[in-house]
Chain A
């Protein structure tokens, strides 16, 4: 493409085909990199940093140190049991390109709207036959508003059903202008109490709740979702406040996402950031408790298939 240079590019870290639980039908889910929050229970810790990163899989590494020769920053460590000095590494990926065992893996690649669309269109037949489409997830896709402004009109043009999974933690203006491009907005209710929200996610939630209130009036495809982590969201107080808030917004439906510790396995491979969550209770029991409580508070909770 001749104007390739000026085209905005998005930073994504994964594209998963045949997703059945990110909206209706068979979907392809695109994971955007970068998030304004850092939830303690994050299942994609590699999504938080807005820059490309390197991940090291110790179990695949043979210690051959081919990577050391490729690194322009001198960030490769030689002692066994460690490989990358994350304070020096800038995520350029040169080491991953030469590693013979895929022990170093680049997390995050830049794509243009048309490159991404080509990838997504591969499963268009399956979207059509299943009533499915594409879901943007992350990370927080709305932090890449410039790229989305380029990508979303093309995706709509191609007839794709579009869903967004958002934390709401982005610039209000971006949410207002981009939300109408989506058929469905899955909006996370992470924690009701502002102080608790800051404790668990690193940020206050007042702007987030205001955004939800506005969207509830303007967007028919808005759906509330709640991650259910034992000992966090499942307190009586939080559930009551969630129910009151949603009812005030005229929303009854809420989707419950069961907690699974998939993210914790990824933490040691990445630059230090999140600490593994010390779980307080059984996810399945907690889920059931939340479902019952919200139901008795007048909501219609829908439980996603447990993994």
Chain B
């Protein structure tokens, strides 16, 4: 990392994150304007986007080589009033003062934002999901409570890896031209014609956005006293004159074009997981050409890559407390993926892959979210590099195994070639780059709650109101078969409600929030003349997350043992104990001592496997409104902690208030036999059912992976896990001492990076409960010993 990059990094890390009102205010002004009210939605979207890009404050910060500011602050986020903006603004007056992730916001801006709320109160997406107001109110109540399930799609979709290669080849104007040609071939006034026109407008807006920076850079160059910086500014001007409007001619232009598009797509779709994806693949030809021609030196190339990477950390999401309980930390999942194979299955690691890994390792910033693909033919130097980085405690990159993922994608309906071109988006969800509009983070399902309902005839513990299916009294359940049926009935009932709401939300997104710019960067949309929200993309899925399968698996295992095998107590007695949050401590100790997932115990592992099977079976054959399948994901971001608080105690011995299992991990603190046993358990599951990907965290205390032995052991663990079919892994190396210090004195380790379910976030960004959870887990891990 050279000095310039160090300065850039410091500037971003030391900047106070803040809330920028520009997008919301310009968006509102556009929509309030009577002239615009009658226009078709896609045109409104494209014009509003172009207006934001034309009017928002632009800045070129000192030392920058790659430019483009997402907000008018160095680090900031925006409000999406037409989506979940009202929810975002629920903390409007406390953003600057709140403890976790405070966001700077001036009083004047607070007032301006407060003033737009009434306009959107009846117009935001959530208010218009169901036609009937009563139905819609019930829907909003479910959303706000967020206990049974959470539909993230109500806040917009995003979760895309756009076809940036196409933007680099054709330029925004070239894509606009393509749309214009296609428009001539369809009936004027048709939906297709409107879509094409919207694409033309949006692409023109994107092109003009770059030109504003060209003008600014030229002006700054003239005023710049330092001749070296003046030359750099002149070069920036030249770059921005060319891209994103026109094709990229060299590596610097390619990086710049991608970042401009990144800003625009974030502003249009939603700032949630817009992913550059397989950067090392589509940018490498530009790099190679420059290096071969000698127009760019290796050091310059590295500097550009680092400078580009830093930019992603300038974009932060604006989450109020309501959303933070589901998505903790200041992350927005902009995934960069390296390695893997080409379309034919040959290894695709190149110099740029290694350069990006170095950038990630040396910068250690919360964004972008670096991930690495591995496969049987991954080169040793690539794997060694990754293992060394992980053993040193970087907590990134997350690893994805082609051997497990590609077949799953093919089974889902991708062509083998397109499957091999996958990148993760969001937390962990694999999609084909530039072809897939998969609302991978559509919804999260509280699976342990379904067991609570099954133990209480469809009602929450302590409640008389039936919210679930009418299943029998526990006293009438005479075998595990009956218990399993009651659970699947509740799960099916809950999923039915979820899918019903989700379908309405999908339609609302298509109706109210088409995304022409994004759509033009997804294969299939221009060809079909259809927006991605309406199913125009080549591949369409929706991901439903099975949250905490092992919490339920361990509970079922405990029921079988305690009630039917040991006959220690009856099922109604056990249910009553759960409902009362285990007044009998001895009973709870007994339940905790029963087999648990994650300890290489086939009996316990089979139950978790069964829960995943039951869930995926219920999704089987269901289609979303875009014509795609529903897929099952096994990850929980941070919702396992929130749902642990609101979901009743369960037969595994978990008390209400304790977190549920995170992702595919064992229940909180339940794995006691070390990483080899844990990996054996995970490898025992049929992960091919996790068609929307899964999140599996392996945690080590720092001492274990220190020294000579650490990286070797880690590499052996991971290669074994992957060769046996493991799908994904994230390695957390945590020193409890450091974490405790960081908790007690946030200033001591302001940039401590930890993994939270698929994301990098700074430790300081986490909620107190999550901090405690992480500290507890690492301490357990470190305290292994004999008697």
Contact = CB atoms under 8 A, between A and B. Distances in A.
Interface of A: 13-14, 16-18, 20-21, 25-26, 31, 44, 46, 55, 62, 64, 100-102, 105, 107, 122-123, 125-126, 128-132, 262, 266, 269-270, 305, 307
A21 B716 CA distance: 15
A305 B703 contact: yes
B281 interface: no
Interface string B665-682: 000000001111101100
Interface in B292-330: none
Given A123-B676, A126-B717, A16 B784 contact: yes
Interface string B529-563: 00000000000000000000000000000000000
Contacts of A18: 674-677, 713
B590 A100 contact: yes
A2 to B, nearest CB: 25
A305 B724 CA distance: 30
B463 to A, nearest CB: 31
B749 to A, nearest CB: 22
A131 B710 CA distance: 14
B676 A102 contact: no
A201 B173 CA distance: 84
Interface centre among A13, A16, A130, by most chain B C-beta atoms within 10 angstroms, is: A130
Q: How large is the interface on B (under 10, 10 to 19, 20 to 34, 35 or more residues)?
A: 20 to 34
B786 A266 contact: yes
B719 interface: yes
Contacts of A44: 786-787
Contact of B787 (A25, A26, A64, A107): A107
B780 interface: no
Contacts, number: 83
Q: 6 smallest A-B Cβ distances: which pairs?
A: A130-B716, A100-B586, A18-B674, A129-B716, A305-B707, A20-B709
Interface in B670-707: 673-677, 679-680, 703-704, 706-707
A166 B709 CA distance: 23
Contacts of B680: 122-123
B586 A101 contact: yes
Given A17-B673, A18-B675, A64 B716 contact: no
B600 interface: yes
A17 B713 CA distance: 13
B621 interface: no
A102 B593 contact: yes
Given A26-B676, A64-B586, A126-B676, A14 B786 contact: yes
25 contacts: A13-B786, A14-B787, A16-B784, A17-B676, A20-B710, A25-B712, A31-B786, A55-B787, A62-B586, A64-B586, A100-B586, A100-B589, A102-B593, A122-B600, A122-B677, A125-B720, A126-B679, A126-B717, A129-B717, A130-B713, A131-B716, A262-B786, A266-B787, A269-B787, A270-B787
B785 interface: yes
Contacts of B786: 13-14, 16, 31, 44, 46, 262, 266
Interface centre among A18, A21, A25, by most chain B C-beta atoms within 10 angstroms, is: A18
B675 A129 contact: no
Interface of B: 585-586, 589-590, 593, 600, 673-677, 679-680, 703-704, 706-707, 709-710, 712-713, 716-717, 719-720, 723-724, 784-787
Nearest to A103: B589
A64 B585 CA distance: 12
Nearest to B705: A20
Contact of B713 (A16, A20, A125): A20
Contacts of A307: 703
Given A122-B680, A305-B703, 16 more contacts: A13-B787, A17-B673, A18-B674, A21-B709, A26-B676, A26-B716, A44-B786, A55-B787, A64-B586, A100-B589, A123-B676, A126-B676, A126-B679, A126-B717, A305-B706, A307-B703
A92 B784 CA distance: 26
Contacts of A305: 703, 706-707, 709
A101 B785 contact: no
Contacts of B707: 305
A47 to B, nearest CB: 8
A123 B724 CA distance: 13
Contacts of A262: 785-786
Contacts of A20: 704, 709-710, 713
